[in-house]
């Protein structure tokens, strides 16, 4: 039987930061159906992989409900030349992993990414386990597997335990049982959404003009036009204490009357304003609305 190559289903390639078994890997397989995953050593590499066409999309963690924002991500987004096309919330089940011969009584150190270590302080203190910073979660699991030392453990996912042949010494060791990480899906082209669709998020990056009360005046347009702002982050530019860039998530489409008026007012008080994403709000948010 002749198979038309054009009829073959394209396999979606997803890049992420971390090794196989990382939470970004887990988010990729949860959000996308049977993706071809492309692990990368850094967030920059994950972004560049999409820009060069070696992956269709990147999935990047931006916030954690316990730890806060993921360092460096927000400063990378504007320069990435990619667009946010979706958000995904992953409940994070952190496991204490060890070698086959280890137990909670033998393990004295736990290696993981600093973000994960910060989410398990209570567990580590109760079990008298010393936290040790690693490059990433799955990479830490791989290292512990290679060293095969019963006194050393790793904090990582269940999928990492399976991939690297480690034993789950205890699951759900995170301090906050509702521990969740928000991921953003990034692509070369923006998603086209009509403004009639409900529950849309618009992500914006801007720099305010150097005039008194510029930020206060810029933000005023959202209040007067009844536009709900669900996220506001600031960070320094180029190592300067004077140049500040802001990352904002608002509810609504840019062409909605109220949102358009708010953006017009914001534009007046900025040196630079870019819309870097218009996408559907995740249903995960409904449980808090």
Domain ranges of the chain: 12-91+180-187, 95-170, 200-282
pLDDT for residue 196? 62
220 to 215, 232, 251, 270: CA distances (angstroms): 8, 14, 16, 13
Could you give the angle at the alpha carbon of 18 between the alpha carbons of 284 and 179, nearest 5°? 30
DSSP reduced 3-state for 15: strand
Q: CA 285, CA 199: separation in Å to the nearest integer?
A: 10
Q: Which of 43, 123, 183, 247 is catalytic?
A: 183
Q: CA 288, CA 282: separation in Å to the nearest integer?
A: 12
Tally the C-alpha atoms within 13 A of residue 9's C-alpha that lie toward its C-beta: 6
Give pTM, 2 decimals: 0.87
The strand pairing partners of 15, in sequence order, are 38, 58
DSSP reduced 3-state for 244: strand
pLDDT for residue 1? 45
Residue pointed to by tokens 């996220």? 231
Q: Which of 49, 181, 202, 270 is catalytic?
A: 181
Q: CA 65, CA 104: separation in Å to the nearest integer?
A: 27
On whether the CB atoms of residues 11 and 55 are closer than 8 A, the answer is no
**Active-site residue, 49 included:** no
| Phi, psi of 139, rounded to the nearest 5 degrees | -60, -35
Token pair, residue 279, equals: 């996408």
Same fold, 12-91+180-187 and 200-282: no
**Active-site residue, 151 included:** no
| Phi, psi of 286, rounded to the nearest 5 degrees | -60, -30
Note the Cα 234 to chain centre separation in Å: 17
* H runs (alpha helix) in the chain: 23-31, 43-51, 73-79, 114-117, 121-126, 137-147, 158-164, 214-224, 257-268
Q: Which one is the CATH code of 200-282: 3.10.290.10, 3.30.70.260, 3.40.1190.20, 3.20.20.70?
A: 3.30.70.260
CATH superfamily placement of domain 12-91+180-187 = Periplasmic binding protein-like II (3.40.190.10)
Q: Which one is the CATH code of 95-170: 3.40.50.150, 3.40.190.10, 3.30.70.141, 3.90.226.10?
A: 3.40.190.10
Token pair, residue 155, equals: 């904090």
pLDDT for residue 193? 75
pLDDT for residue 218? 83
pLDDT for residue 208? 83
Q: CA 57, CA 34: separation in Å to the nearest integer?
A: 14
Q: How would you write the pLDDT of the chain (289 residues) with one tens digit per residue?
A: 454 555 567 889 999 998 899 999 999 999 999 999 999 999 999 999 999 999 999 999 998 887 777 767 777 887 888 999 999 999 999 999 999 999 999 999 999 988 889 889 999 999 999 999 987 899 999 999 999 999 999 999 999 999 999 999 999 999 988 889 999 999 999 887 766 667 899 999 998 877 778 788 888 899 999 999 999 888 776 665 566 788 999 999 999 999 999 999 999 888 889 999 999 999 998 876 6
């Amino acid at each position: 039987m002749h198979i038309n190559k054009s009829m073959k289903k394209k396999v979606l390639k997803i890049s992420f930061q971390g090794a196989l078994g990382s939470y970004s890997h887990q988010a990729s397989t949860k959000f996308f159906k049977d993706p071809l995953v492309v692990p990368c050593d850094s967030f920059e590499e994950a972004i560049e992989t999409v820009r060069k066409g070696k992956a269709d999309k990147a999935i990047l963690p931006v916030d954690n409900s316990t730890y806060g924002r993921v360092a460096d991500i927000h400063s990378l987004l504007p320069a990435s030349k990619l667009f946010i096309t979706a958000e995904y919330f992953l409940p994070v089940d952190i496991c204490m992993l060890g070698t086959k011969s280890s137990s909670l009584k033998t393990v004295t150190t736990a290696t993981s990414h600093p973000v994960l270590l910060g989410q398990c302080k209570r567990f580590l203190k109760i079990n008298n386990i010393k936290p040790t910073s690693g490059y990433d979660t799955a990479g830490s699991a791989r290292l512990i597997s290679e060293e095969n030392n019963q006194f050393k453990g790793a904090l990582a996912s269940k999928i990492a335990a399976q991939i690297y042949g480690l034993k789950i010494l205890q699951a759900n060791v995170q301090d906050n049982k509702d521990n969740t990480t928000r991921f953003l899906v990034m692509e070369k082209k923006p998603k086209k959404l009509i403004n009639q669709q409900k529950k849309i998020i618009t992500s914006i990056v801007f720099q305010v003009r150097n005039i008194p009360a510029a930020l206060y005046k810029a933000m005023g347009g959202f209040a007067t036009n009844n536009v709900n702002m669900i996220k506001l982050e600031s960070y320094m530019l180029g190592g300067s204490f004077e140049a500040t860039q802001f990352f904002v998530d608002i509810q609504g489409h840019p062409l909605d009357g109220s949102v358009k008026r708010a953006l017009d007012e914001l534009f007046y008080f900025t040196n630079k304003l870019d819309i870097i994403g218009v996408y559907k709000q995740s249903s995960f948010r409904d449980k808090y609305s």
